[in-house]
Amino acid sequence: MVPAEKPVEFDPKDMKVVDENLNEVGIVRDVIGSVRAPYYLVKILVPLDQAREYVGRRLYLLEPSPDLTRKLRKGR
């Protein structure tokens, strides 16, 4: 579980979770908890011995840019 810093305003399911070097750590599977203190349930994609290194570290959601989203919807 990864605490969200603010209320969740969109469905982050299947978004990539990365570290400060943009290394993929996991994928968001669900959001749980209260509206004021939500948590992301993250499926970890790194080996468990590496995953321990991420406990307490800042992680980020890798959001697609609006331009990329538009291109994907148009099939380009």
As a whole number of angstroms, the distance between CA 8 and CA 44 comes to 20
Q: pTM of the full predicted structure?
A: 0.72
Domain count, the chain: 1
Domain limits for position 32: 2-74
Looking up residue 27, the CATH number of its domain turns out to be 2.40.10.230
pLDDT tens-place string over residues 12-52: 888 999 999 999 999 999 999 988 889 999 999 999 999 99
Three-class SS of the chain: CEECCCCCCCCCCCCEEECCCCCEEEEEEEEEECCCCEEEEEEECCCHHHHHHHCCCCCEEECCCHHHHHHHHHCC
Q: What pairs with residue 15 in β-bridges?
A: none
